[in-house]
A and B are shown apart, each in its own frame.
Chain A
């Protein structure tokens, strides 16, 4: 199991627990504001953008080419950006903090 914390645009901190699924699915299922997941998780809408806490970036890993390109749709993309639908939850992510992009 992994405990995952989302920091919303209003600085609210929401901690959730999950075994599987993607970071987008977990957020949508729990109504985390700012993560819409409009395309249902197929890397087509870029509405699931999060910034990964730097110390977890190595565990989460770099985005693939298509995800990297889709991230460019957002203005505040940085080296810690990921699309939540492309990151699968596993125990390795336990304790991670994600900041919901603006």
Chain B
């Protein structure tokens, strides 16, 4: 069935943090027509951050982590098409083709296609047993099942980024033996400073996680239930379960088929619109301008997904709004709460502030005198003050900042 052009249909592809927020925001902003949300994932849309945290360690089903209950979609007349892959976009005539060949016309299209796990080419990986990425609820269910039947529960995590580390913490809680193999010379290499990397390495080792760096896995072979991994330096490891924490690839294929501009992601303007006036893009898949940092960035965070979604919805409804947010992010591991305000890339000096409580500190990233970002560990005060100080481009006395006896509030 084709809708006629006056039906004012918005199609949103990707029903996760970005797409779902956008659909509801469209209704709130008064979108008069149909709103159709597509996702290849058959589950009712759920929160992703708990996947490596509370969801992994619990025995609860994904229905406990829903973004919205089913009734909310009905109430706001948001049509869910779950388990449906969108195959391509015909942008001149404005319709989508679904995997089964059906077509859907759109007035506006929102690409909220996010990212998928990046699986580096490792010899034998395709045939190896018990190898799991970590992006969907189904991945977690499979990891839980594999652990349940595994006697020795030896888990090897490839990649020491936030998701790999959170997974390690959760698996320790579940009684697994955990080994992390990181290719670079330190964990969290891409996202934080050596001080933070060392803190997390120390914390994980105290919890019994073995972390080895400079390890590039080149081959894997499975026999029965166990796998043997070979590294480029000749070392080898045995595991019952292998988890790939090796980063993501952006889902740009639909954007490409629509012919919109793509650079390190789908390129959008400050209203989240692509180079095609009928097509918007939001969330992990976008390459967008951050006004505070005055550069284009691609982010993987709930904050960015939600804030962009709201901007896109307002813009489609004719409002004048622009995306202008200080990015934020969090990560929970063991009893550690890490909160990050801002973007630290490009920093050239930093201040570490240790509070009186030993497990409480913050790292402040500067470029010259300008505060770029704050990593706050068990220290929401530093996170909140950091957010303010970044936003206001405040000039901070670094000596006072480093002194825990000086209250953060007195820095402004």
Q: Which of B325-367 contact A (CB under 8 A)?
A: 330, 332, 337, 339
Segment at the interface with A among B93-101, B132-140, B291-299, B378-386: B378-386
Partner of A40, one of B49, B72, B378: B49
Residues in B whose Cβ lies below 8 Å from that of A29 = 69
Interface presence of A79 (CB below 8 A): no
Q: Which of B298-337 contact A (CB under 8 A)?
A: 302-303, 306, 330, 332, 337
Main secondary structure of the interface of A (DSSP, over half): loop
Residues in A whose Cβ lies below 8 Å from that of B68 = 28, 31
Q: Is the CB of A44 within 8 A of B47?
A: no
Interface presence of B113 (CB below 8 A): no
Inter-chain residue pair count (beta carbon < 8 A): 45
A69 to B332 alpha-carbon distance, docked (Å): 17
What is the number of residues of chain B that contact chain A, defined by CB distance less than 8 Å?
23
Residues in A whose Cβ lies below 8 Å from that of B72 = 31
Residues in B whose Cβ lies below 8 Å from that of A43 = 337, 380
Q: Is the CB of A69 within 8 A of B384?
A: yes
Known: A66-B378, A69-B381, A70-B380. 20 other contacts (CB 8 A): A36-B306, A38-B302, A39-B49, A39-B302, A40-B47, A40-B49, A40-B50, A42-B53, A42-B330, A42-B332, A43-B380, A44-B337, A45-B303, A65-B380, A66-B337, A69-B383, A70-B383, A70-B384, A72-B381, A72-B384
**Which A residues contact B (CB, under 8 angstroms)?**
28-29, 31, 33, 36, 38-40, 42-45, 65-67, 69-70, 72-73
**Which B residues contact A (CB, under 8 angstroms)?**
28, 47, 49-50, 53, 65, 68-69, 72, 75, 302-303, 306, 330, 332, 337, 339, 378, 380-381, 383-384, 387
